[in-house]
Amino acid sequence: METSALTIGLLGAGKVGVVLAQLLIKAGYKVLIAGSGSVDKIALTVKVLAPGAIAKTKEEVSKEADIVILALPLGKYQAIPRKGLAGKLVIDAMNYWWEVDGERPDLQDLSTSTSEIIQKYLSESRVVKAFSHIGYHDLHDETRPISHKERKAIAIAGNNEQDVQQTAELVEAIGFDPICIGPLAFGIRLEPGSEVFGAHVKATELHKMIDNFPQTEKGKQVVAARR
Amino acid sequence: MTKMKSEVLFGIDTFGDIPVDDDKNLMSYAAAIRQVVDEAVLAEKVGIDAIALGEHHRSEYAISAPDTVLAGIAGKTSKITLATGVTVLSSDDPVRVFQRFSTIDALSNGRAQVILGRGSFTESFPLFGYDLRDYEVLFEEKVQLFSELLKETPVTWEGTTRAALDNVEVFPKTESGHLQTMIGVGGSPQSVIRAARYDFPLMLAIIGGSPDRFVPYVDLYEQATKEFGTTRHPIGMHSPGFIADTDEEAIKLAWPPYKKSHDRIGKSRGWAPITREQFLHEIANGSLYIGSPETVAKKIARSIKVLGVGRFDLVYGQGPLAASARLRMIELYGTKVIPRVRELLAENSK
């Protein structure tokens, strides 16, 4: 596979990080993965749950990978090593989850998507949002080959067409139809409280849900907050 | 392998959802708790091995103090294992948890079983004055202390989450010298490793998606016990379900309360309301054991086989189900499903 030349880095070795590592390895990528602490702490997890992935520190992963996916608790985003990620495509798979992150008004500000907060923090990287709205077990269970009629879709929000395209290739490769929904600000349409959050549906239905966003309760709140 | 399968234990678990009476009125909290006691008595009568009660602090559940309910059940039963699912250790005091359960163990002649966990809800944190940001350290330290307490010898312990103990003995001690303890895990790899590190049996909470997804976790537990030199205990699993006489009836009865419960919890977490299509998809492919005794038995037998578990607990009664339907479910589980699962496992191992 041609794509195998790319090295994908995962920051986060929890439920989402491990599933993404499994799928990306299956798709032929080289995968590096880091948890919040030392390499020792995740070595066994990686060896057993995502054989083939290489456990490293978050600094090493950020520096050595071509593309980095963020799969750590959103509330800890300030622990992401900025330096190694400069100039890179960074895919944000995180969501605000109060049961993990605690009460964080800064992450519930309706005037900005949480991915824009990440973009601001990683000012020298190019942030795209993807892999965030589908639950980790559906991510694991619902992969299907290209053009399978039941293939599910994953939405992507990003500002740069080339980055969105590159993200779409990853989505495609692990077994989902990519759909591009617009700029990073539109990432809010995928966040908890939206119809899309938790959805594992086909592309046509996902499109419909996303287009319908401004009419929903959350959509109206967002519009009001941004007026 | 064959030997383990023939010894599979079966349990039922509940969070103490408030059921409705025959006139479809929600029962009171007090009546809902007495209902669970009646269900436990019935469960024992129909041959179910264990009952596990969850701890929640939300309006839709009656049980916030599962150990007190277990003490009540202890007095009315003689065989069934009395478990929690789970005791939220992070926001509790390990010393007090030990004392409460060793007391239930005394009352029940050794039938108490603590299943420790972090819980899938976090209401207990603000309620008892804990900070969610300490989620990790609270659980880690308290599991460590609890594993010390289980030795039933004087404990010396120091940490950041409770007062230090200096050569302290904790009472009552159990008759067997060992309070049965498991760790409940929802799919975090680090939690699986932690259970192995402290030498605890593992209870997998498989509440969504395909159970096959957990096969590598069983492997992880095994590898971790090897690495730490601890015991590879039998693993248990718990998944939600409902049984009625036919598939159609089970789906008809379970769907409206399931949706109500799912959407209500989902709202606070930002999930979209569940559709009937998703519900049926989860029954067919995921971790909802809903249907006739035959359908549910086949699904349970398959999961036990795939994961090689030594215990299967069915979480029953999601949402405002009729109390009478819950009792019927327990009866079918004990008299039809469990014998049929045993039969299927025996066929498989031939």
B window 36-95, beta carbon within 8 A of A: none
Q: CB–CB of A97/A72 below 8 Å?
A: no
User: CA-CA distances (angstroms) from residue B250 to B246, B284, B299?
Assistant: 6, 13, 15
The complex's ipTM works out to: 0.84
The pLDDT assigned to A140 comes to: 94
The pLDDT assigned to B260 comes to: 94
Q: What is the mean pLDDT of residues A79-90?
A: 96
Taking an 8 Å cut-off on Cβ atoms, the answer to whether B271 and A14 are in contact is no
Q: What is the mean pLDDT of residues A109-118?
A: 95
Token pair of B288 as six digits: 């909802």
CA distance B226 to chain A (A): 11
CATH at B168: 3.20.20.30
- Chain position carrying tokens 């949706």: B259
Q: Please determine, for residue A2, whether its predicted confidence score (pLDDT) is greater than 60.
A: no
The closest alpha carbon to B238, from B260, B208, B194, belongs to B208
Task: Quote the CA–CA distance of A219 and B113 in Å, as a whole number.
Answer: 47
Taking an 8 Å cut-off on Cβ atoms, the answer to whether A135 and B224 are in contact is no
Structural domain total, chain B: 1
The pLDDT assigned to B350 comes to: 65
The boundaries of the domain holding residue B211 are 2-349
The pLDDT assigned to B1 comes to: 39
Return the exposure string of B269-293: e unless at least 16 CB atoms fall within 10 Å of the residue's CB, then b.
ebbbebeeebbeebbeebbbbbbbb
Return the exposure string of B113-123: e unless at least 16 CB atoms fall within 10 Å of the residue's CB, then b.
bbbbbbbbbbb
Q: A138 — contact with chain B (CB < 8 Å)?
A: yes
Taking an 8 Å cut-off on Cβ atoms, the answer to whether A137 and B285 are in contact is no
Sign of the torsion angle spanned by Cα atoms A127, A128, A129, A131: negative
The pLDDT assigned to B5 comes to: 43
A193 vs B contacts (CB less than 8 Å) = 270
Q: What is the mean pLDDT of residues A81-107?
A: 92
List, for chain B, all residue ranges whose pLDDT scores fall below the cut of 70. 1-6, 350
The pLDDT assigned to A147 comes to: 92
Taking an 8 Å cut-off on Cβ atoms, the answer to whether A100 and B217 are in contact is no
Q: B220 — contact with chain A (CB < 8 Å)?
A: yes
The pLDDT assigned to A101 comes to: 83
Task: Quote the CA–CA distance of A157 and A92 in Å, as a whole number.
Answer: 10
The pLDDT assigned to A227 comes to: 79
The pLDDT assigned to B2 comes to: 39
Residue-level length of chain A: 227
The pLDDT assigned to A204 comes to: 96
Residues contacting B176, CB < 8 A, separation 6+: B105, B110
What domains, with CATH codes, occur in chain A? Answer: 2-226 (3.40.50.720)
